[in-house]
Amino acid sequence: MVLASLGLFCPKCKREYLVNVKQFKTQIVNEPDAKTQS
């Protein structure tokens, strides 16, 4: 199972994170362009 660049929104901090999931291991991708859209 592979999910690449899955966008997850955190309502608490109001930010969106890009997450990669591979073999049930998660990795947060730090990209400066990963901002929420208003």
- Determine, yes or no, domain membership for 12: yes
**pLDDT value at residue 21:** 80
Cite the DSSP H helix spans in 1-38: none
- pLDDT per residue over 1-38, tens digit each? 677 777 888 888 888 888 888 777 777 777 555 455 54
- Say what the pLDDT of residue 1 is: 65
Q: Phi/psi class of residue 32: alpha, beta or left (left: φ > 0; alpha: ψ in -120 to 50)?
A: alpha
- Residue at 13 is within a domain: yes
Structural domain includes residue 14: yes
Tell whether 38 is covered by a domain. no
CA-closest candidate to residue 28, choices 2, 13, 4: 4
> How many folded domains does the chain comprise?
1
Residue 2, in any domain of the structure = yes
Give the domain extent around 1: 1-33
According to the model, what pLDDT value does residue 32 have? 54
Per-residue pLDDT at 38? 44
